[in-house]
Amino acid sequence: MKRRSRNTGRALTIAGPKSAETLRNADVTQRPDYTVTETVDHRGRVLTNVEVAVIFWGRYWSSTSPAPSISSDTYYQAFTGLVTGPYMTGLSQYRGVGPGIMLGKFTNDSSDPSNGYSDSDVVDMLTAFFQDNASVPTPATGHQRFYAVITSTRDSPTTVSPAITAGSTASAA
């Protein structure tokens, strides 16, 4: 049985495998009249009123000369736009998600992440950072806090669990 497009009625063609380079450069686009016909909510954890603290980990963020090409301010502005802007407002249809708030931008330059850092290294760093810096909001009952930990591009984790990672360098505890 041949499958046909719902929008055009034309037969669908299944292409052979693409090279990794082709896939890396591919953009996925949908026509303006494309309709999502089904979504499934698996009832996972949803941060409806997220509070985000962005922590830049390592001396890279405070003493690199010349300064990093993408500054900590640029990263913080990106987080702010995502968390407080129309993206989160648009998620209101998903179990009451709404815009979040930013708790601040913090730099921990008292230590550097080791190449191959792990979940426990991130947790240990955050624990010590909370103890040494009263200005950093700590986890609190009744608050949906997300700690985005940003390292330099030269530092990479070994394996970081999906429960902790949002992207390759943003972590929550």
Domain membership flag for residue 44: no
Domain membership flag for residue 86: yes
* pLDDT tens digits for range 58-95: 998 888 777 777 889 999 999 999 999 999 988 888 88
pTM: 0.68
Q: Which domain does 100 fall in, by range?
A: 50-150
Asked whether the CA dihedral 111, 114, 115, 119 is positive or negative, the reply is: negative
Q: What is the distance between the alpha carbons of residues 22 and 15, in angstroms, rounded to a whole number?
A: 13
Contact 117, 154 (CB under 8 A): no
Per the prediction, the chain carries an average pLDDT of: 78
| H or E element at residue 91 | none
Q: How far apart are the first and last CA of the chain?
A: 49
Number of domains in the chain: 1
Domain membership flag for residue 140: yes
